Amino acid sequence: MSIKPEAARILTEISRRLAHKNNRAYIVGGFVRDTLLERDTADIDIALPADGLEIARDMAAYLKGKYVPLDDINLVGRVILPESKRSIDFSSLKGNTIEEDLAHRDFTVNAMAYELNQDIASGFILENIIDPYRGRRDLENHQLKALNEDVFKDDPARLLRAIRISAELGLDIDEATAALITRDSALVSQVAGERTREELLRLLALPGAGQRFFQMDRLGLLTALVPELAPSKGVDQPQAHVFDVFVHSLQTVSAVEFVLREADWEYGRQETLDEVPWSEQLKQHFDREISSGSTARSMLKLIALLHDIAKPQTKFMENGHACFYGHQEQGAEIAAKILERLRFSRREIQLAEIIIKYHLRPTQMSNFGLPTGRAIYRFFRDIGEAGIDVLFLSLADHLAARGPTLDAQGWKEHTDITAHVLAKHFEEAGPASPPKLIDGDEVMENLGITAGPAIGGLLEALREAQAAGEIKDKDEALVYLKRLYNDRYKNVPD
């Protein structure tokens, strides 16, 4: 079984250094598993009967990498190789033998090892793989199995890892392991926020995250992780909605993946997707990094999950219809607290707040026809570049509200508005971002007024007029400002 050339080169160098120091070592866990699956992986784990911290420190110097101590108690150190973007973790064996060490791991497919030697570049000899728990068999059968019944009690973060690994590798969680997850699901609340964030983002980076959230709910994990979602179960919505608030929220995640061309959706059809504007520019927008480990794409999925989280407490009946006034603002506050608890960055939290707060804005931009230049200008003025994310969440929200009952005409009107707003926004010096025609000093000089809040108000009104196409040059701007100043501040006719 061959090893990718770059990884083989690194492992050969490590083997030489360890042999020089008379250290026996084993490649363990994910690297062995992924090699068997013919998948490349950036991470390599090596276990050895020595101080992992000391070995990692020495290896960092030898490989010209960066040394990071990970665990002073269990003696785990990391070497980061910037050029190859790989990391190698060195850990001390748990027990006296590699078999004893493997007994402490999480799943059978991760409890395999291979002794590191200088012939490693030629690949794995299958019969030499150390596999006491038959992980190879489970890989072949596409099964994810817990190593023993205490794996989740020993480390509750494994509850999330089970979902993520099964998604990454296309493995089915076997019935006994699923039962253990359900039994121990409440323990997920004990996982450190940093580890939860990492697992969530790795899951959200994969296609099909919406369906994984449904799986997490069936196993009791989702509301154990985010208890604020629990009250939304069974909360009915207006007639246009097919699903209750909870199911709608999960369907919105899947619909986001659908409109972002990432995954199919059970209610999505090609003709529905064809109506959604798309371009390389939009793809780059959603692929951009927000913070370490997150992209605009992965964050929008998470935000979709939380976008209606305040509906239960804002619900009231009006003329026999359910209403949720203010759920956007309250939802933004609740989502911020959830993401703070899960140790998301300030930038990620601010993005979530603004998208949730304004997620209804696209459908409010026009009562009839396409939005005006003024409306588009105000939209991006208030929301910034996150306005693009809001537009796509609004589309996903529309789809997830109606599911199999989607009305083609209503969908066409929504996508036409989206396409129009995006086209105006992306136009160079277009209405969404009009060029500067005059500054505050010129306003004071031409109107004969002194500095004060009126200047900012006048300039903002001018920008809106430009966005509407009413003002095209500096002369028109001066005429407009004089008239506006007289009407608004002097209250005398021009």
Whether pLDDT at 369 is above 80: yes
What integer best gives the mean pLDDT of the chain?
91
User: DSSP readout, 156-196?
Assistant: THHHHHHHHHHHHHTPEEPHHHHHHHHHHGGGGGGS-HHHH
* Average confidence (pLDDT) over 294-303: 98
Both tokens of 150, joined, read 């205490």
Whether pLDDT at 433 is above 70: no
Closest CA to 251 of 139, 427, 396: 396
* Average confidence (pLDDT) over 34-59: 92
Higher-scoring residue by pLDDT: 454, 63: 63
* Average confidence (pLDDT) over 468-488: 79
| Residue 432 confidence (pLDDT) | 53
* pLDDT classification of 357: cutoffs 50, 70, 90: very high
Report pTM. Answer: 0.85
Whether pLDDT at 281 is above 60: yes
Reported as a single tens digit per residue, the pLDDT across 461-470 is: 777 777 767 7
Residue type, 134: R
Closest CA to 466 of 430, 424, 412: 430
Both tokens of 147, joined, read 């190593």
* Average confidence (pLDDT) over 201-212: 96
Whether pLDDT at 430 is above 50: no
* Average confidence (pLDDT) over 252-270: 97
Whether pLDDT at 428 is above 60: no
| Residue 442 confidence (pLDDT) | 81
Closest CA to 106 of 52, 76, 145: 145
* pLDDT classification of 490: cutoffs 50, 70, 90: low
* pLDDT classification of 23: cutoffs 50, 70, 90: confident
- DSSP annotation of 95: S
Reported as a single tens digit per residue, the pLDDT across 373-385 is: 888 988 998 999 9
Whether pLDDT at 429 is above 50: no
> How many CB atoms are located within 10 Å of the residue 117 CB?
15
Higher-scoring residue by pLDDT: 442, 98: 98
| Residue 117 confidence (pLDDT) | 86
Q: Is 220 helix (H, G, I), strand (E, B) or coil?
A: coil
